[in-house]
Amino acid sequence: MIQGHGDDAYLFDRPIVADFSSNVYYGGMQEKLVQHIAGHIRDAGHYPDPEGGRLQQQIEQRTELTPGMVMVTNGGTEAIYLVAQAFRGASTTVVVPTFAEYADACKLHGHEVSYFFREKLEPDTRFITDLVFICNPNNPTAQAMNEEALLQLIQFNNRSTFIIDEAYIEFTRNADSLLPHLHRLHNVLVLRSLTKSCCIPGLRLGYLAGQKALLDKVRAFRMPWSVNSLALEAGHYIMDHPAAFEVPVDALLGDTYQLWEGVRKMPEFRVHPTHTHYFLFETLTGTAAALKLWLVNNYGILIRDASNFYGLEQGHCRITCRNQEDNTLLLTALRKWTLS
């Protein structure tokens, strides 16, 4: 893991009143989900389903995938490391800037890792590596590749296996999930997380999907009981109540635009385009690290210092849209920073 990440409030002595550093939806855990999990607390006194079989079946039914096309994991991160282990020693391209765990996992398992910058990615880009990691929409750049372009890219490189991380797919109108296409894509694994949209990052719950023959290669390295009883129970509840966990994406993107525009109007910042509920901006006065610390100390606001993403600079920051009150507080604080 790279040093420095989002949601690191534990590093600071003072309370955080508005956390813009995490890409998790700001709505918080739903009370009925909290009550459901609390009602199953005694399940922790027994071993969980070793492979999360019941939840796997629920996800396969919900996504209209055939049996064996889903593997439940301890968050998306377990899936990333399992893929890296299953393809140990492979040649791998990571499309950057992006989540550091792709490269970290691959290096841990002896991959030859190369990097390709997202801004140069086209449907006819040619890859010569065994694996290609793409986050769509991408973290931290907030750019999404539309379904048609991504499918063209995959078909153009049918000798490479693509790992498409869709952790933020519920937060955009500029991309669609590849899950409905997996039946005809022999070289794709789709990574999904329940963390971001369902607000359960501490429970660690996600899944990997792909054609059974390809997925079984990864499943062979999965340890039993990797997903705990309470996380599985949360997954059961979420699958049984899908409408309750739908992100109000249009309203959220509208609020994101207002926040984006508010930052853009300040000449001391350079704001990058976004297709989702978070975005990058650069401070042109000082560094991201200095701005982050100043916001914590003066306002109890936490942002993501994004300077440690491969390919980004010392001034890069990432923020995620919150409610209007918090967004207004952040804009007020940023104006104060420009005068300090």
Give the pLDDT confidence of 65-98 residue by residue, as tens digits. Answer: 999 999 999 999 999 999 999 999 999 999 999 9
pLDDT band at 6 (very low <50, low <70, confident <90, very high): low
Q: For residues 303 and 307, give the distance between their C-alpha atoms in angstroms, rounded to a whole number.
A: 12
- What is the number of domains present in the chain? 2
Q: Are residues 185 and 91 in the same domain?
A: yes
Q: For residues 309 and 99, give the distance between their C-alpha atoms in angstroms, rounded to a whole number.
A: 8
Is residue 3 in some structural domain?
no
* Sign of torsion over alpha carbons 324, 328, 331, 333: negative
Instruction: Answer with the one of 185, 215, 244 that is the final residue of a domain.
Output: 244
Q: Are residues 189 and 299 in the same domain?
A: no
Is residue 2 in some structural domain?
no
Is residue 271 in some structural domain?
yes
Residue 239 — φ and ψ, nearest 5°?
-65, -30
Q: Are residues 231 and 117 in the same domain?
A: yes
- Region 300-311 average pLDDT: 96
pLDDT at 154 over 90: yes
pLDDT at 2 over 80: no
Instruction: Answer with the one of 199, 214, 244 that is the final residue of a domain.
Output: 244
Instruction: Answer with the one of 215, 244, 273 that is the final residue of a domain.
Output: 244
What local confidence, expressed as pLDDT, does residue 10 receive? 76
Q: Are residues 317 and 170 in the same domain?
A: no
- CB distance 318 to 279 below 8 Å: yes
pLDDT at 132 over 60: yes
Q: Are residues 281 and 226 in the same domain?
A: no
Query: 11 vs 72, which has greater pLDDT?
Result: 72
pLDDT band at 12 (very low <50, low <70, confident <90, very high): confident
- Region 284-295 average pLDDT: 96
Question: What are the structure tokens assigned to 328, written together?
Answer: 């207004």
- For residue 164, give its domain range: 31-244
Q: Are residues 191 and 312 in the same domain?
A: no
Is residue 165 in some structural domain?
yes
Cα–chain-centroid distance for residue 121?
20
CB atoms within 10 A of CB 66: 11
pLDDT band at 13 (very low <50, low <70, confident <90, very high): confident
Q: Are residues 326 and 227 in the same domain?
A: no
- DSSP code string of 134-200: EESS-TTT-----HHHHHHHHHHTTTSEEEEE-TTGGG-SS---SGGGGGG-TTEEEEEESHHHHT-
CATH number at residue 255: 3.90.1150.10
Q: Are residues 168 and 300 in the same domain?
A: no
What local confidence, expressed as pLDDT, does residue 151 receive? 98
pLDDT at 8 over 80: no
pLDDT in tens, 216-252: 999 999 999 999 999 999 999 999 999 999 999 999 9
pTM: 0.96
- Region 279-287 average pLDDT: 96
Q: Is 203 exposed, middle or buried (0-12, 13-18, 19+ CB in 10 A)?
A: buried
- Region 34-38 average pLDDT: 97
